[in-house]
A and B are shown apart, each in its own frame.
Chain A
């Protein structure tokens, strides 16, 4: 994307923008923070219980990265779904929101089964998308960037599925999530088709191409930055 294309590019936003009250703990001034009781994890952690070898740090980072990305997606779709007019897009986006939240739980559980815990990470992959591609400014653009992102997610998960020596809990989690991700691509594709009378097929195609270009840039940057952490994915089973 050319540097002169300046479209609400907010790459520094998370560092420069003061957090609004609802972004963090919400409480009245002077009131004590609410401390939630610890919740017993319902998933057995055989590796931890049996004292097996600790999880490889690169795999732990990658699974934490997946979890963080799913959480970020849930936040994105949850907020947008709250503002949509009644209709099929509202319904599907709400389900999409719930799926993303569920996937974050599945990755959390997967890490627990492997005797580990999620790492606390900074900005999510989606933040890079928004800073590179610019903010979507209408529903069609929101769906277009979602379509491109979900396709990337499916490719990444499928690639991980093929990696050699992938632990069984990871394979099981990937299998559960990939089915949902394929549905995400389908519903968003159908929703974009339904918006053709309003935005025009050419405009939608042009928007998708623009976001695909941004996707390639973001993915390339991520690989350059974290290539050593995901190198193990290059060793496929076949």
Chain B
């Protein structure tokens, strides 16, 4: 399973939704209320040990956008770790 699918499954778990119910084209504003989304974003950052600010979410409207944002950050960190090793 690649990073994107792991993140998608984590999102489903945090939001208490069926596995794989969040396809890339689902609008974020339909996956829960504002508190659900705040919890989702905070939890994902905690689990993946990454950190974002509000600006990083500019233009991120869909589940796919969010997954890509997190997956890219994780990949960048892995590359940085590998280059240091």
B60 part of interface (Cβ distance < 8 Å): yes
B57 CB, min distance to chain A CBs, angstroms: 5
B42 part of interface (Cβ distance < 8 Å): yes
Interface residues of A in 162-195 (CB under 8 A from B): none
Interface residues of B in 1-43 (CB under 8 A from A): 16, 28-30, 32-39, 41-43
A116 CB, min distance to chain B CBs, angstroms: 30
Give chain B residues whose Cβ lies under 8 Å from the Cβ of A79.
35, 39
**Extra contacts besides A6-B61, A13-B33 (12): CB < 8 Å:** A8-B57, A13-B29, A16-B29, A20-B16, A130-B34, A134-B57, A135-B34, A137-B57, A138-B53, A141-B54, A142-B42, A198-B51
Give chain B residues whose Cβ lies under 8 Å from the Cβ of A17.
29-30, 32-33
A10 part of interface (Cβ distance < 8 Å): yes
**In the complex, what distance in Å separates the CA atom of A198 from the CA atom of B52?**
12
Interface residues of B in 40-59 (CB under 8 A from A): 41-43, 45-46, 51-59
**In the complex, what distance in Å separates the CA atom of A93 from the CA atom of B53?**
21
Q: List 7 A-B contacts (CB under 8 A).
A: A18-B30, A20-B32, A135-B37, A137-B54, A138-B51, A142-B42, A207-B54
Q: How many residues of A contact B (CB 8 A)?
A: 35
Quick check: A135 and B41 within 8 Å, CB to CB? yes
Contacting residue for B52 out of A6, A23, A137, CB 8 A = A137
A75 part of interface (Cβ distance < 8 Å): yes
A interface: dominant SS = helix
Quick check: A75 and B32 within 8 Å, CB to CB? no
Interface residues of A in 43-94 (CB under 8 A from B): 75-76, 79-80, 83, 85
Contacting residue for A136 out of B32, B54, B60, CB 8 A = B54
Quick check: A136 and B38 within 8 Å, CB to CB? yes
Q: Which of B30, B53, B61 has the most CB of A within 10 A?
A: B53
Q: Which of B16, B32, B33, B60 has the most CB of A within 10 A?
A: B33
Instruction: Give A107-139 as 1s and 0s: 1 = Cβ < 8 Å from B's Cβ atoms.
Output: 000000000000000000001001000111111
Quick check: A83 and B39 within 8 Å, CB to CB? yes
Quick check: B34 and A13 within 8 Å, CB to CB? yes
Give chain A residues whose Cβ lies under 8 Å from the Cβ of B16.
20, 22
Quick check: A134 and B54 within 8 Å, CB to CB? yes
Quick check: B32 and A138 within 8 Å, CB to CB? no
Give chain A residues whose Cβ lies under 8 Å from the Cβ of B46.
83, 85
